[in-house]
Amino acid sequence: MTKSYNMVSDAALGSLSALGGRLKEARLRRNWTQEQTAAKAGLSESSVKKVETGSQRITVGAYLSLLDVFGMPKAFDRVMAAGEDTLGEALGRSTLRQRARQSQAVSEHEWEI
């Protein structure tokens, strides 16, 4: 295993596995075989199997291809969307406040000369 695969958290792996399972359920609801699904998505049957098991050793493009075939081409639009990244937004506000204080201190110092 390479380092990049070892660095993925258990939570992220669980999420990927759950997504793969949901994609499999979507395929089964449509009564499609993995072979039929692969043909519709422009993937190999092996790639569909990997996605359905939540493999991290396949491109995100394969996941996107299946989402597209299942009628959800914009499913990733919600990932890290405004309002969803509460930690990042809090850190951003914190950084903005620090920058405002720093620039204000510089302005006060310039007036002292």
pLDDT digits (tens, 9 = 90+) for 84-111: 888 888 888 876 655 555 555 555 555 5
Q: What is the pLDDT of residue 44?
A: 98
Phi-psi category of residue 70: left, alpha or beta, with phi > 0 → left and psi -120 to 50 → alpha: alpha
State how far the alpha carbon of 31 is from the alpha carbons of 1, 11, 36, 42, 79, in Å: 35, 30, 10, 18, 29
Backbone Cα Rg of the chain: 22
The CA distance from 103 to 8, in Å, is 38
Output the pTM of the full model. Answer: 0.71
35/44 Cα distance (integer angstroms): 8
pLDDT value of residue 84: 82
- Note the pLDDT tens digit of each residue in 7-66: 889 999 999 999 999 999 999 999 999 999 999 999 999 999 999 999 999 999 999 999
User: Domain spanning 1-77 has what CATH number?
Assistant: 1.10.260.40
